[in-house]
Amino acid sequence: MNISIFGLGYVGCVSLGCLAKNGHNVVGVDVSQTKVNQINNGLPTIIEKDIDVIIKEQFEAQRIRATTDFKEAIFNTEISIVAVGTPTGPNGHLNLDYIFNVANNLGEVLKEKNDFHIIAIRSTVMPGTSDKFAAIVEEVSGKKHGKDFAMVSNPEFLREGTAVKDYYNPPITLIGSHFRDAATKLASIYDQLPGEVVLTDVKVAEIMKYVNNTYHALKISFANEIGNICNALQIDSHSVMDIFCKDKELNISNYYFKPGFAYGGSCLPKDLKGLQTLAHDLYIKAPVIESIDKTNNIQIQRVIDLIVSQKKQKLGFLGLSFKAGTDDLRNSPAVVVIETLLGKGYDISIYDKNVQVSRLTGTNKEYIDAHIPHLSKLMVNDIHEIMDKYEVIVVNNNEKEYADTLATWIGTATIIDLVRIDERVRQKPVYKGINW
């Protein structure tokens, strides 16, 4: 395939060489004559393991070249990959001038080009950039997005120092587009690479680099705070974290990575507080660990604000315990939400079969009587008492009974979902999710 790459920096140079090595004809485009000359002399524009050998080999095989002439490059290729820089400005926002300069250039050329053209943004950009890019191309060229050209988001996940290895061994190849045919065609240039090809929404693809790298920064900071605490206690922090990483069921897994309501229960709040207190007593600053419960409290307040914004007074809650399949009310965030709303004068009823059974059998009666006797008076025995009488129904945990009942329920009450319930319910016009 004939491919043009805009920007011959880190991502552009690696992509140029590696795509050529996989059999494509690739032309690099850059405003820097120095970088163009380097490529046209068989030399890389960066220092990176193995890329010098690849650039030299592919130049000699006549599969790569470079130019400052963007018109010639676009006319003679079917895919343009945008890999220009997106530096951070003084206010923290990205400088997208280079990106949108490329959009103007592409628009000028596509005005005269009849063949369908695919534009893939490989640069790190904020969600919405691909759509803005497409709008500029449409305005300048007079062509139609989806008919004459198509935008694709194709973020890179290359680490400096191992970029070539990362290119050829991606855990996934991520492609986002409004147009599946364009996404599939772009995916074909990566056919020789291992790892799953994930086709997704444009904005999902655009935000992933930020999510990934922020999480990597969080991991490093978390590990360092644990290391500082361990060091103060003369504990080998590497032994601690080596054991931590052996648990692939919970610690290194997707188990807790489900956006939704706040955490609760007997373990997480208690043990977090214990570690925070330990760090404090050791005079160790641990801002990441100190902020965890603050974020949790923000999520609880988010739910309260969402419910209040409905401007309805009659509220029915499905679930009181902190998660499905249990009657445990200790540190249940639903209890905090309900108590706050009761204080604001809301009319509330609660249905939770597990809590109701435990209250009647005495297994949880002592806790209820000691801590939330006022809430036990609000509980009903039949889920339909909630469904038929209330203006807002809040789903607090993911019991199958709630999904089954709501899926067949016909009513006008607003459903506020805190747990991402069954898709049958999410499709209802009265449905609202907490953060999806």
Q: Would you name the residues annotated as active-site residues? A: 267
Burial class of residue 431 in the structure, from the number of CB atoms within 10 Å of its CB (0-12 exposed, 13-18 middle, 19+ buried): middle
Of 155, 141, 142, 154, the C-alpha closest to 182 is: 154
Q: Please name the residue that has the structure tokens 């907490």.
A: 434
- SS3 of residue 120 by DSSP: strand
Interatomic CA distance for residues 415 and 335, integer angstroms:
18
Interatomic CA distance for residues 272 and 415, integer angstroms:
32
Burial class of residue 275 in the structure, from the number of CB atoms within 10 Å of its CB (0-12 exposed, 13-18 middle, 19+ buried): middle
Q: Please name the residue that has the structure tokens 């240039």.
A: 189
Which residues, at least 6 apart from 254, have a Cβ–Cβ distance to it below 8 Å?
none
Burial class of residue 402 in the structure, from the number of CB atoms within 10 Å of its CB (0-12 exposed, 13-18 middle, 19+ buried): buried
| β-bridge pairing 2-6 and 149-153 | unpaired
- SS3 of residue 73 by DSSP: helix
Interatomic CA distance for residues 29 and 398, integer angstroms:
52
Structural tokens at position 369: 């009587």
Contact 70/109 with Cβ under 8 angstroms? yes
How far is residue 158 from each of residues 15, 52, 61, 134, 337, measured CA to CA in Å? Answer: 10, 17, 25, 25, 43
